[in-house]
Chains A and B, each alone.
Chain A
Amino acid sequence: MVQPTQQNIEDLAGAALAELSALDSLESLEQWRIAYLGRRGSLTVVLRGLAGLDIEERRRIGALANQAKQSLESGLEARTREINEAALLRAAQEDRLDVTLPGRYPAEGRLHPTTQIVREICAAFAGMGFSVVEGPEVEWDHYNFEMLNIPKGHPARDMWNTLWVDYTNEAGEQPMLLRTHTSPMQARVMESRRPPVRVIVPGKCYRYEATDATHEWHFYQVEGLAVDEGITFANLKGTLYEFARRLFGEERRVRFRCDYFPFVEPGVDMSIDCFACQGASGQAQDGGCRICRDSGWIEIMGAGMVHPRVLSGVGYDPDKYTGFAFGLGPERIAMLKYGIDDIRHFYANDLRFLRQF
């Protein structure tokens, strides 16, 4: 039995702490604790021997012994923490991720590119006070042609190769067709309300037409119509110029040239300067611009002042009211914006195409 002397206590504590610093596992620490601080541990036993000392000695040595115990306990605590931290560090090293592995995607869904571009077009016009309306895809000859100043037998009907519905009325006529443009809604909207009118009409159209890289028999169109007192060709220019800037960038320039649609007069088509080559190919002979085919300009829509016969046909006074109308092909806009080289991709619904948008 070790006597509880100052020397012994200091030796014991020194030896214990030296031993502690060499330990490196939680198990050996526990054994160390039992060996020194346990119920039968060396220091505990020494402390127990204090009872045999006189009062003075007991107080002095007792204080020393308690100090030693505390230093052993805090040493144990510190060493335990060190070993735990080292273990965590080791574990973390072993648990490293290969952060270059692909992540987990949520299920992916997208809107069809036509939906996206139609929305973009509608939003641009909505910002200028145009409301969206839609009309039937199966139409009467009356709305698709006659109300648009294209009577039966008019040579201009050749501009729209028509798919006719197999339906014959009592008069022996075949008056039902798949609309060849969204323009019939001009007449339908104006018939249903008094001026002012300011609408855009997105929707599907159909033509009896062989398909190639730039022609589809089934396609979308966005029609626009604004009618009121005092609406002029200058407003047509302002509206369509603003549209071109919103879709193709602020620096866009526009150009109008004379064109013919029986339901407008004057009639024009609008081009924008090429956003790919900034219109430069028009001048440079070596251009090589795929988008504008070196013309520097890209035709994007037809437009014009509503023909007085269209206005009088729906009961509007053409001397009082004027207006403009326009129509554009969203697929063509999307093809230009996204560099799509073949319109037939749109409705082939190959997911490898659709997922790019």
Chain B
Amino acid sequence: MKVPLSWLRQYVDVNLPAAELAHRLTMAGVEVGEVQETGGWDEVYVGSVTAVRPHPNADRLRLCTVTTGSASDGGVEELEVVCGAPNVAAGQKICFARVGAHLYNAHSGRYETLAAARIRGVESQGMICSELELGLGDDHSGIIVLPDDAPLGEPLSDYLGDTILDLELTPNRLDCLSMLGVAHEVAALTGGAVTEPEAGYEEAGPPAAQRVSIAIADPDLCRRYTATVIDGVSIGPSPQWLQDRLIRAGLRPISNVVDVTNFVMLEYNQPLHAFDFHAVKDATVIVRRARPGEKLTTLDGVERVLNPENLVIADSNDPIGLGGVIGGANSEIGPQTGTVLLESANFAAANNRETAQAMGLRTEATLRFEKGLRPELAPMALRRATALIQQVAGGTAAPGIIDVYPEPPDSPPTVTLTMRRLRQSLGMDVGITQAQAALDSLGFHCAQSSRDDGDSGGGDAGGALEVAIPWWRNDVNIEDDLVEEVVRVIGYDAVPTVMLSTPIPFHSPSPAIALREAVKDLLAAGGMQEVINYPLASMELLERAVPVGGETPPMRIANPMSATHEYLRPTLQAGLLATLAANQSHGPGPFRLFEAGRVFLPRSGDLPEEVETVAALLAGRRSETSWHNPMGGGAAGGGGAMDFFDAKGMVEWLLERVGIGGAVWEPGEHSVYQPGRCAVVRHSGGELGFVGEVHPSVRERFGLDSGPVAGFELRLAALLEALPESERHFVSLPRFPAATRDLALIVPADIPAGRVTGLILRHRLVQRAELFDIYSGENLAPGTKSLAFHVHFQAADRTLTNEEVSRSLDGLLRTLEREAGAALRS
């Protein structure tokens, strides 16, 4: 909403600098996005053309004698100017730029300083300006002709300069879409008073009510319809002042009658519509729902097919307008129009919004009706507009107005404000005198109520106000709305700043959040970088990682911004792999990336299951290449590329650190990972997740660098279930030494090392065991492999003797032979 101060001053005294006014409005909730200044022209004055003669050497140019009224030796100074504008004429008031003025040059496209110049042999001592040259508009077809009463010799900046406040309104502040609404706001902030415009006019002839018949068929969609009839208007351009007002407020002038409807809409907020009276068949207006399939060509030239959800203004047969949205072409005001039927009505907000949205129309009318205008407004704006039409287009108004108002309320809306509620909401006492003063300044009408608020013992801090809501406010409906009105006037600084002192409520902490955050901390401590990807992806990207579609395809967004962000991810892998690929273009890594986020699994007829998941990728050399290790080796596990065991080690360490013991690792299958290089990790039968090396064809689809990419994906809910219930317990440090024996075993090649390790660890007196070598090949029978362990025997209560250790070892070997076909390597 653009508010030119020149217009605003018509209703309220603006005695503050524009920046200060903008600040106060913003603080009170009417945000001023920008303060635009027009003007600032030096050496440009209101001038007058005293004579026009042909140019001796050019047909299209003329020599104009111009004066600004200033004195010179021989009386009044007169200057000769060459002018090419077709509309220049003697007697005009014009914008005259003297030599030295800074103007826009349409030929060079730049601002330039005007110099005296010879044009076709005649010296020009200045310039008569167009809109374009002054930066006031795009028009360069002719010069600006000022009103006759423009003050000769006044600097143009004083006369035409303006300040425009560009308001960025929140949807509740409908009132500030009008000059009067803003004026009331300004009055409250500056202590001024609002002058409402004149709305009186001459009436003659038969009463309006006899000229036209108006009926509301659907009062749920149209609460009130008012109209006047004006005969004998002459349609033409609006006077300059009216055009200026509209242009500065950002609207395009059309013709005098239409311009008045727009002007009054900007003044009062009430959208109006002018029909060509003679196009309204049978002088009958019916406000009704459209018939199915009924058609209307609207003012924008579009033929629209209507349905009963649309409210139309119809004559005895056909729609002539889409109520409160846009007019019909069939009843449009044109040069031929002699009689105007002027409508000022009140339409139901929700229906108006629905129709406008369905038609893809966001008109100035809809912008207002959809927010719920007050019905009182209709006749006020109607009278004002009728008066103005008479003023700018002539004609005679039929006496009276037509006012169809099926269910007028008994009394204007009032809301009670108790001092108790003010105190309860704000935490401070606002005296009733101060509250009333604040509301009065905004134009509310307050009456002190006899009703006592019950707990303050009366006095200034008690009591209540019965507050009548003025016609321009639609946003004040409950007591708390009035609390806001009071506090935004007295200022938020007046409210004390007090810490909460009510008891802290107990909300049981969420173990899932705690676990997720612990996992993130651990992974970061383990050298992994957290990333956060968009949860929406394209089908194509998802399919590069995992087969989707199938029986439960991922959830789709109905109105995606692009195909790139169309589906809710059922896996974190696709996003992570794409992130890895993007980063590989910046360098060779190493990359250790993880994401802790939700994946979305559809459920029939319900919100999706949002599964908290943590997934990771490891790629590149185990450590960065440097002068220490030019090949990038050196860290734990030696040099070379990270692989399955780097991912597995990260998960093992993670499980150990969060306190999950007894996880079981088995060969697994997962479409992201390469078969045979993928493990499923389980706990008590439940699946915690998968670890693996990314399938070569997945790597290729994401365009990843060559070399293995290892990763894992864990479900946090499963981890949470596997967490021991109890807190961890201290285990005494061993007091007696351990005895260590090395054990080299030959086992069938298909026996997993994990199984052998498990057998060893379960044996009596074995405290721990480390696999330190795996070998197969030469010197071993085909189909076998050798596993070598350090096995540590220890007892809590004594030092083990050699015989005890040997006996235990013998028993262990027998078990291993029986359970795993293992034999000691000789």
Contacts and interface: CB of A to CB of B under 8 A. Distances in A.
A138 B532 contact: no
B513 A266 contact: no
Contacts of B590: 107
Interface string B492-532: 11011111111111010110010001001101111111111
Interface stretch (B82-90, B420-428, B713-721): B420-428
Contacts of A96: none
A131 interface: yes
A265 B486 CA distance: 12
Given A111-B524, A257-B492, A265-B483, A167 B26 contact: no
A329 to B, nearest CB: 15
Given A133-B507, A155-B353, A218-B534, A238 B370 contact: no
A107 B525 CA distance: 9
A56 to B, nearest CB: 64
Given A109-B524, A198-B505, A259 B534 contact: no
A267 B173 CA distance: 13
Contact of B481 (A108, A132, A265): A265
A232 B424 contact: yes
Interface string B404-443: 0000000000000000000011111000000000000000
Contacts of A108: 527, 529
Chain A residues touching B, range = 35 or more
A109 B523 contact: yes
A233 interface: yes
Interface stretch (B262-270, B557-565, B732-740): B557-565
B487 A233 contact: yes
A116 to B, nearest CB: 9
Contacts of B634: 104
B557 A163 contact: yes
A237 B27 CA distance: 16
B350 interface: yes
A267 B475 CA distance: 13
A138 B598 CA distance: 11
Contact of B560 (A101, A163, A233): A163
B530 A218 contact: no
Interface in A107-165: 107-112, 114-115, 119, 128-129, 131-134, 136-140, 153, 155-156, 158-159, 163-165
B61 to A, nearest CB: 45
Contacts of B492: 237, 255-258, 268
A138 B600 contact: yes
B635 interface: yes
A69 interface: no
Q: Which among A197, A257, A352 has the greatest number of chain B C-beta atoms within 10 A?
A: A257
Interface stretch (B64-72, B578-586, B753-761): B578-586
Given A156-B172, A196-B502, A257 B29 contact: yes
A210 B562 CA distance: 11
B720 to A, nearest CB: 14
B667 interface: no
Contacts of A346: 532
B525 A109 contact: yes
B586 A351 contact: yes
A178 interface: yes
B781 interface: no
A352 B587 CA distance: 10
Interface string A168-179: 010000101010
Q: Which among A137, A208, A308 has the greatest number of chain B C-beta atoms within 10 A?
A: A137
A138 to B, nearest CB: 5
A114 B610 contact: no
B499 A233 contact: no
Contacts of B560: 163
Contact of A231 (B502, B528, B627): B502
A94 interface: no
Given A153-B354, A174-B558, A109 B425 contact: no
Contacts of B559: 163-164, 208
B427 A232 contact: yes
A155 B583 contact: no
Interface in A187-222: 195-199, 204, 206, 208, 210, 217-218
Contact of B171 (A110, A158, A174, A268): A158
Contact of B558 (A166, A256, A266, A322): A166
Nearest to A174: B558
A268 to B, nearest CB: 6
A166 B568 CA distance: 11
B495 A238 contact: no
Interface string A317-357: 00000100000000000000000000000111111101100
A257 B498 contact: no
Given A163-B560, A237-B497, A238-B499, A347 B526 contact: no
Contacts of A199: 507
A305 interface: yes
A350 B353 CA distance: 43
A119 B568 CA distance: 26
8 closest A-B pairs by CB: A107-B527, A232-B427, A258-B29, A234-B427, A266-B484, A129-B504, A260-B170, A131-B507
Given A111-B530, A258-B28, 7 more contacts: A109-B525, A138-B600, A140-B607, A257-B26, A260-B172, A354-B529, A355-B529
